[in-house]
Structure 1
Amino acid sequence: MPISALSTAEATTADAAPIKTLVEAITWEDSISTPKAPEPSALESELQQQLETLDIVKAHVADNTQWKRRAAYSLVTDDYRVHHLTAGTLRGDNKLGVSPALFQSLDESQVMSVLHIGLSMCGHPNITHGGLLATLLDEITAMTAIPNLPGKTGFTANLNINYRHPCIANQFVVAHSELTSVEGRKAFVKATLKTLDGTVLADATALFIAPKIPVSQIAEQLTLAKTQTAPATPQPEA
């Protein structure tokens, strides 16, 4: 259930705070501090350079009348990044090996992302695991739904996926999502995953719902729940 994987250059401290608060709420207060993300490897740097030369990326960069480029996961704090599924856990050589090229339409009704899926993301040999494709579809639909929801925060309520073609590993893929409708606290989105040559790998429809109560209150409730269920600290013997 992504909170937000998309950020804008215009995001204010107030905009970012609820997301950071929710991230903090699902982290133990007394947990051991975690290191920052490592520097890009030689393979990641090479793939990142290849990404920027792809025709679809260059075309979206040039088309500033319809698209604006966004930074993926910039609202995920450094200390939490290593625990974040797509920005941290699944990032790295032979996994999700690059920072996606991410574009949002000017009216915020569409999002397009180009990313690389490595060899270590397989189910069958050399075929990307369907669960990973589901994760990518969940992410891309969230990136479209959330900016259009009240409070710009929401959670996945439903995700329906059709797998159309095996996704061969070690290639760039294109994820695209489009807002279908907004009904109060509900946002309906459709999405596709394609190869660079246009082969449809999977498509999906999704429903996202904005919470009734403020995210800060959800964070407080989660923090309280974790505090109440945390194991007691052993006391030294007298």
Structure 2
Amino acid sequence: MASLPQFLSRLLRNQLPTNFNLTRTAIRTAQTQATSSTLKPSHPPPPPTAHHHHGFQHAHAKPPTQTQQHIEDPIATHPLLQSLRADRTLKETRPHLSMAPTLRPAHFVAGTLAGEKKLTSAPYMFLSRSRTSQNADTDTDAELSKSRAVALFHTGTHMCGHPGFVHGGFLSVMFDEVFAHTVSQSFPSGTGMTANLNVDFRKPALPGRVYVLRAGVVKVEGRKAWVEGSMTMLPAEGKGEDVMVAEARALFVEPKFAESMVPVYRN
């Protein structure tokens, strides 16, 4: 007669394989079901939402909302804009709107800074080109036409450095942007690149206001052009006086490879 320990041992050997196999099968089945579940495709993602910044049309853009039109109105109906349109020596342009849609998203001003609470609409620009003397036949390269420009833009509330005051870097960028369009008329290729830019800040600039930037080329020598300008903050709701917020001067150079560049600033 087998001893009790030997009997229990045989009993366990006879029963464990059946129970053990069932347990392993159940685990494998559960793992297989879990894996199949995780591999099943989820619901398809929603279609991309439309993007529209006031005046800056992007792919799949929606029509401007009532709020967007309200922001645009302070510029579109401003008396200064109407007087500039009446000046036949100036030509009106909104270069950011005429920019190729494929270029606009990567452009710092027309793309990155464009938005409801940033640069709220595409700036209005008025460009002019006139000679320094009446006799064009005797003009030298240094006396050739010196173009000028007047630009109007509206600044939103998300362009501040100190809370409640527009960042000086943004004002510098706007000088550089308008200067580039101004000197584009002084180079045969229509393209100039910034070699030097100096900005003097005179008064704090406030968000939610319309600004006018006046610029003019003061000297042209071959592939170099010097330009100067000033930026004025217009009074809110037409009440008060204009405030000079900054002045700037810059040197632009027409690159030797200008003809191979994408024509962003040619007007």
Normalization by structure 1: what TM-score? 0.72
Superposed displacement of residue 149, structure 1: 1.4
Superposed displacement of residue 38, structure 1: 5.1
Report whether the alignment pairs 1:213 with 2:251. no
Superposed displacement of residue 135, structure 1: 0.1
| Paired letter, 2:78 | L
- Shift in CA distance, 180/52, structure 1 to aligned 2, threshold 3 Å: same
Larger RCO (CA within 8 A; separation ≥ 6): 1
Match of 2:195 in 1: 157
Superposed displacement of residue 62, structure 1: 1.5
Secondary structure class of the residue paired with 2:117? coil
Secondary structure class of the residue paired with 1:96? coil
Match of 1:49 in 2: 73
| Paired letter, 1:131 | G
**From 196, 203, 206, the counterpart of 2:247:** 203
Deviations along 1:157-201, one digit per CA (max 9) or x if unpaired, are 000110111101110000110110100000100011101233111
Report whether the alignment pairs 1:103 with 2:126. yes
Task: State the alpha-carbon separation in 1 of the partners of residues 114 and 231 from structure 2.
Answer: 19
Match of 1:79 in 2: 102
Task: State the alpha-carbon separation in 1 of the partners of residues 191 and 255 from structure 2.
Answer: 7
- Shift in CA distance, 214/137, structure 1 to aligned 2, threshold 3 Å: closer
- Shift in CA distance, 85/137, structure 1 to aligned 2, threshold 3 Å: same
User: Radius of gyration: which is bigger?
Assistant: 2
Q: Report if aligned partners of 1:37, 1:81 keep a CA contact under 8 Å in 2.
A: no
Match of 2:135 in 1: none
Q: How many residues align?
A: 184
- Shift in CA distance, 37/142, structure 1 to aligned 2, threshold 3 Å: farther
Task: State the alpha-carbon separation in 2 of the partners of residues 79 and 187 from structure 1.
Answer: 29
Task: State the alpha-carbon separation in 1 of the partners of residues 169 and 125 from structure 2.
Answer: 21
Secondary structure class of the residue paired with 2:213? strand
Normalization by structure 2: what TM-score? 0.64
- Unpaired runs of at least 5, structure 2: 1-57, 131-145, 235-240, 263-267
Superposed displacement of residue 80, structure 1: 2.2
Secondary structure class of the residue paired with 1:151? coil
- Unpaired runs of at least 5, structure 1: 1-33, 220-238
Between stretches 120-129 and 99-108, larger displacement belongs to: 99-108
Q: Report if aligned partners of 1:162, 1:203 keep a CA contact under 8 Å in 2.
A: yes
Task: State the alpha-carbon separation in 2 of the partners of residues 59 and 114 from structure 1.
Answer: 12
The two structures, once aligned, show a CA RMSD in angstroms of 1.9
Instruction: Calculate percent identity across the aligned residue pairs.
Output: 33
Match of 1:141 in 2: 179
**From 105, 116, 121, the counterpart of 2:159:** 121
Task: State the alpha-carbon separation in 2 of the partners of residues 100 and 125 from structure 1.
Answer: 24
- Shift in CA distance, 131/116, structure 1 to aligned 2, threshold 3 Å: same
